Chain A
Amino acid sequence: MTFRLEKLFWSGSGLLAVVYALLPVAWIVSLSLKHPADLNDQRFFASRISFDNYRTVFSDSQFPAALWNSVGIAGIATLLSVALAMFAAYAIVRLEFPGKKAVMAGALAIAMFPPVAIIGPLFNLWRLFGLFDSWAGLILPYMTFTLPLAIWTLAAFFREIPWDLDKAARVDGATPLQAFVYVIAPLAAPGVFTSAILVFIFAWNDFLFASALTSTNAARTVPAAIAFFTGSSQFEQPIGSIAAASVVVTLPVMLLVLLFQRRIVAGLTAGAVKG
């Protein structure tokens, strides 16, 4: 009897949790689908569905450029960060050298670093170096701030790899390269992939650097573009377009998260450094 009650309690709260997590998402999607004339009807659900907001946002001069910037900048930052982190994590897990604890501790310290503390110096330096409002000007900070997360996550994954397999393959006559390509790389791939997703989410998400270190369509990413969207007058916020743009920018990350949820959970909890 109590068992059944307990079951009811847990499934009820499960439903509640799902509603809690999805409500704001459903709201922004519904807002984006509202007919422009219905935007102020104060209803949660769109009474008539229209794609006008999406058409507006894609024919806009800022949004497509911002989307391209976001994809490029987050993509390159992810590649670079994961590549560097792979070297470091491999060394930390497999090799004995003094200062390896310091590297891990330093990475941890940077993960807790308040980004706003370096916004001023970076702004000034980037102005002097000509990196202000450029892709490189954002890729560099994104790379740096995601390196700790990538190193910790990868190190956690690499620790689980049975490296003896490498030796065994070589005893069986494989060259070091073959052993790496056929034995170790497939085992390491899920970890590399996981940390890449986490890094990508961070870079895709960032607003502080994007708003402080960019000023035009040349490098302004979607989060900054959305926050600075203006309508026909400077003081009017085009809510429909903002909602549509928000949905578009959320989709890729949402897809990644839903498709690879298990790995992301594993990555976040195994090497969890920052959210």
Chain B
Amino acid sequence: MSINKAERRLGWLLCAPAVVAMLLVTGYPIAYALWLSLFRYDLRFQAQRSFVGLANYASVLSSDVWWKALTNTLLITIGSVSVELILGLALALLAHKTTIGRRSVRTAILVPYAIITVVAALAWKFAFDPTTGFVNALLGLQNAWLTEHWSAFFVIICSEIWKTTPFMALLLLAGLTQIPADLLKAARVDGATAWQRLRLITLPLMKPTIMVALLFRTLDAFRIFDTVYVQTRGAQDTETVSIVGYNTLIVRLNLGLGSAVSVLIFICVLLIAWLFVKGFGAPLAQRNGGRS
């Protein structure tokens, strides 16, 4: 009994530093953000600080900027994650199946993961630049891609897809390796085509892995910041919710209004997670793949 108690105490003692660090830098600030969002608090006009209740939320929710940014964010999220799922699945199948140069393929897939997002965004930006880039010369075009709404979106989404598909592919690969090879072999002997094997055996068995990968990538894509900031700074109507939050807080130093934006982003993320868990039955608590 006393050993049990000692074990309990030791467990908590060992976990405490990590838990305290996590609470201090995320728990406390999010509570502080909730509090700040109820005030008119602009660092440039500090004297005007006053309690305004939900007024900040009202002004964010009634502004075009927020809804435009939310639409843009969802557009980028859905656009990139859906392509990533297909591309990632193809890459995972490739890394799983290919016999020649399997190691080089697996290594190559990891390369985009190793590139920092800002550098990836710059590489794509310079590639599409009308004066330095090779894309226009290659396609025989004269476009200034990042100065027009839809083409800017195109470049942003392409950069995102390139940068984050490896993560998707690796998670899916982990799921793939768990499918018993005998099952696929048996189906093959019974005359199932490659497409039938993929659709009737591989995909259903991978559903949990796919759901988890989708959930993580969706939440990650929803907070997109680096790529947009580097490529357009939100110009041409490419502002995302993170850019709006950043600009309000750090550029315009409006802590009250900015905190309201932050809290709304937080709520959106919770909503997405909830949708995935309730709506699609994503096994959130389960560890992805690799579990034996």
Contacts and interface: CB of A to CB of B under 8 A. Distances in A.
Interface in B1-50: 4, 7-15, 17-19, 21-22, 24-26, 28-30, 32-33, 36
Interface in B95-122: 97-102, 104-120, 122
22 contacts: A11-B98, A14-B102, A17-B91, A17-B108, A18-B104, A22-B111, A24-B127, A31-B123, A39-B132, A95-B10, A114-B262, A115-B223, A118-B25, A119-B262, A120-B33, A208-B226, A212-B249, A223-B116, A265-B170, A265-B173, A266-B290, A269-B174
Nearest to B285: A105
A120 B256 CA distance: 9
Given A25-B111, A207-B117, A269-B288, A112 B122 contact: no
A205 B120 CA distance: 11
B273 interface: yes
A114 B242 contact: yes
B21 A144 contact: yes
Contacts of A39: 132
B26 A144 contact: yes
B216 A148 contact: no
B117 A96 contact: no
Contacts of A212: 246, 249-250
A245 B77 CA distance: 29
Interface stretch (B58-66, B144-152, B196-204, B263-271): B263-271
B230 interface: yes
Given A242-B122, A265-B173, A270-B291, 13 more contacts: A17-B109, A27-B126, A84-B18, A91-B11, A91-B12, A95-B10, A96-B7, A107-B22, A143-B21, A246-B119, A256-B114, A257-B110, A275-B220
Nearest to B255: A120
Contacts of A177: none
Interface string A39-50: 110111000000
A107 B285 CA distance: 11
B53 interface: no
Given A96-B4, A204-B116, A254-B111, A110 B22 contact: yes
A10 B100 contact: yes
Contacts of A162: none
B208 interface: no
A28 to B, nearest CB: 4
Q: Chain A contact residues (Cβ within 8 angstroms of B): what range?
A: 35 or more
A73 interface: no
A181 interface: no
B134 A44 contact: yes
Q: Chain B contact residues (Cβ within 8 angstroms of A): what range?
A: 35 or more
Nearest to A275: B167
B15 A116 contact: no
A18 B118 contact: no
Contacts of B122: 28, 226, 242-243, 246
A56 interface: no
B9 to A, nearest CB: 8
A150 to B, nearest CB: 9
B15 A92 contact: yes
Contacts of A105: 285
Contacts of B25: 118, 122, 140-141, 143-145
A197 to B, nearest CB: 10
A42 to B, nearest CB: 4
A114 B289 contact: no
Nearest to B136: A42
Contact of B8 (A97, A103, A107, A144): A97
A119 B249 contact: yes
Contacts of B36: 120-121, 124
B281 interface: no
A275 B113 contact: yes
